[in-house]
Chain A
Amino acid sequence: MNDDSVFKALADSTRRLLLDRLYERDGRSLTELESDLEMTRFGVMKHLRVLEEAGLVVTRRSGREKLHYLNPVPIRLIHDRWIDKYTERRVSALADLKNELEDTA
């Protein structure tokens, strides 16, 4: 599981839709997820596998059913390691600018 597999998994509208479905209601079976999409069972399975390999979906057994859960941690990791890094610099640059302007005013 690495950043590449997460970005790749997210670079597809059907897979993002599947994540949104799980966000609305977590812990769904393949049959439930399939009924929402105009796609073959095989197609949905294929997308779920990509999401699972990226760690964005985690499956747990509940009796005879395999339930799919949204795991947002990989997205959080990308946020903490990438997005934070750049937005922080921009925010601090603005803060520096503000200080400088206020000092010279």
Chain B
Amino acid sequence: MTTMTATTTQVYQVFIKASPDQIWDAITKPEFTSRYFYGSLVDSTLAVGTPYRGWSPDRETLWVDGEVLDSDPPRRLSYTWRALYDEETAAEEPSRVSWEIEPQEGGVSKLTVVHDQLERAPKTAENVAGGWMYILSGLKTLLETGQPLNS
């Protein structure tokens, strides 16, 4: 890890046996995010310019704060990202998270997460690098088996 230079764009991709609508619901509804996104509850109307928030499981603490930049269900969702669960990342400039969903053959969808605009958020870049892998693996398991990972 020590030699890793801070990257300003991170790309994660996974193929999931689910429709774009199912994936869209899984990333925009709290009853789904609570089961693979560190227990967090997404809270957003998804209208461009409105807040995009992620709450702690007890709804007491705001973990992620942002603003919806682009919303095209069930294909594309983009919002700014400030991670408030850590003092160092909370102090940084907002970065950007974009979800892209592309249907493939055989009932499979390609899901890509791009976390970019990390130029002024090196701690965030470091912090989320392992997280997205875990989240996407958990999302795939949830949608394909109906059960969260390690349940």
Which residue of chain A lies nearest to B108 when distances are taken between CB atoms in the complex? A1
B140 and A58 within 8 A (CB): no
Quote the shortest CB–CB distance from B102 to chain A (angstroms).
12
Which residue of chain A lies nearest to B114 when distances are taken between CB atoms in the complex? A60
A58 and B13 within 8 A (CB): yes
Which residues A24-62 have CB closer than 8 A to chain B?
A: 24-27, 55, 58, 60
User: Which of the candidate stretches B3-11, B21-29, B38-46, B58-66 sits at the interface with the other chain?
Assistant: B3-11
Place the interface of chain B in its size category.
20 to 34
> What is the CA–CA distance of A80 and B15 in the complex, to the nearest angstrom?
15
Q: Can you list 26 A-B contacts (CB < 8 A)?
A: A23-B4, A26-B7, A27-B8, A27-B9, A27-B11, A55-B13, A55-B14, A55-B15, A58-B11, A58-B112, A60-B11, A69-B9, A69-B10, A71-B11, A71-B13, A72-B133, A73-B132, A73-B136, A73-B137, A74-B14, A76-B133, A76-B136, A76-B137, A77-B140, A80-B137, A80-B149
Q: Which residues of A contact B (CB under 8 A)?
A: 1, 23-27, 55, 58, 60, 69, 71-74, 76-77, 80, 84
